[in-house]
Structure 1
């Protein structure tokens, strides 16, 4: 068995490999990277007998070479800002995998698409269709909203002022950490099965800005209140309004085999 993880120098890819190193023989792990610079995780992989292969989503030849001899491929979605470019990149990898004889492809999609995102403008839905049409066994890993968005909410300012200010609205979130996603995805990669499955890797419980203020109160050691303020504006709020941040799923905890990180645990990196 050989498993190729694309985008291995990214945050999620690194965390997945870090988890895999504790679950399967290192010699079964292949990291696909655009640039051959070594993170500590990739260096540990290579030192222990794993492989690091050059793989550029924009270059089909490198994709096919990287996929040679691979049984299972994890395609981590491109971070390019242009969705038409992203779709081309994903298609390059999928076609290369099929031509190279990859048996099982896994893809990091996005959880709970809104109705208006199910049409041809959705890069994730279109990528999934290319995967379904490829004839390979598949697993779709639909990641929930990354908890990272809290980093633009003014947490430090809230602690200093005693007030967490946000626009008015029924804001509720099913956000997840990359660490939890990586644990779940690594388990799927390391285990047999999971073919022809679509998993919604969102949190099993939602939280609100009032809950966030309570957590900040614990960190600050003084009361932090949540206040709705019409003057608060940031691009993040229209984005959050355009996606489903409310639906929940048990899939992430089931695949992790443990509870997801609490809200308090999740925001620690953004308060340091």
Structure 2
């Protein structure tokens, strides 16, 4: 007799969601018939259906679809949405998901937040803090909040232009970032949602060491063989420079807040929570950079 599906992963068609499902199936060996994967476009996940994973449609802007998707689920991973185009939209989406989970009788929510969301200077931290508050005030018995720090892969968006011009403009000062790979964060989420932990906890997931912009630039120079100068500028100057380069002003403010948060130390921390959750060390950033990052930047 087939096992009733009791573990659900939202955002399954995204990079993180796909990686979580891979870890559930291949690393943790969770039976496929225990897993539900949801997406606005479940037809894009037919490879998972072929492996025995149940697919359901879930649209965070459609509360009815969430209620149907979460039916019968005991442990739910809510991967934060990417709805940053409208102030407050993402928080409303997450609040709707928590409400639907509560109505469906979900026993444990795992949520991908960011470290210390209540005090972080990242511009969208209030979305995460508000979601954490909604989870805490719900009647759902247990939760695991995962404070995911910066993906190492985020550098693949910022470094190409810097390497092309030879200048990396930043307002981060001497602040460091404890980069961690998306794969490691996916493993952590998979372990959390598949575990039998029933209490309430908040875990901040950092890489093993914090790197300043100057230290990352040095790694890039050595790996790529191109000159790269770090240019420290005031945050307002950074914003105006990004706007001048064609970024919409709201987006420029979001990106600049990453530097502000870095300078304040919001994105640096200990890997202890990651190790305690997964039983392993996070992949060293320099190893990732030499193996994966440099290859991508050289392509």
TM-score, scaled to structure 2:
0.78
- What is the CA-CA distance between 1:139 and the residue it aligns to? 1.0
Retained in 2: the 8 A contact 1:188–1:194?
Answer: no
Q: 1:96 to 1:210 in 2, by over 3 A?
A: same
> After superposition, what is the alpha-carbon deviation per residue over 1:135-171, rounded to whole angstroms, capped at 9, x for unaligned?
211111111122233234444753x78x553346213
Retained in 2: the 8 A contact 1:60–1:96?
Answer: yes
Task: Kindly report the root-mean-square deviation, in angstroms, between the aligned alpha carbons of the 2 structures.
Answer: 2.8
Q: Which residue of 1 aligns with 2:6?
A: 2
Q: 1:250 to 1:224 in 2, by over 3 A?
A: farther
In structure 1, stretches of 5+ residues that fail to align are: none
Q: CA–CA distance in 2 between the matches of 1:269 and 1:114?
A: 36
Q: CA–CA distance in 2 between the matches of 1:52 and 1:111?
A: 31
One of 65, 79, 82 as aligned partner of 1:62: 65
Pairing 1:119-138 to 2, within 5 Å after superposition = 122-136=126-140, 137-138=142-143
Q: CA–CA distance in 2 between the matches of 1:207 and 1:121?
A: 22
Aligned with 2:146: secondary structure?
A: strand
Q: 1:153 to 1:67 in 2, by over 3 A?
A: closer
Structure 2 residue 275 is matched with structure 1 residue 253: yes
Q: CA–CA distance in 1 between the matches of 2:121 and 2:162?
A: 34
Aligned with 2:88: secondary structure?
A: helix
Q: Which residue of 2 aligns with 1:146?
A: 151
Q: 1:129 to 1:229 in 2, by over 3 A?
A: closer
Structure 2 residue 204 is matched with structure 1 residue 182: no
> After superposition, what is the alpha-carbon deviation per residue over 1:22-81, rounded to whole angstroms, capped at 9, x for unaligned?
22101011001111232xxx3332112210001111111111111111111111112111
Q: Which residue of 1 aligns with 2:217?
A: 213
Instruction: Flag the structure with higher helix content.
Output: 2
One of 96, 102, 109 as aligned partner of 1:105: 109
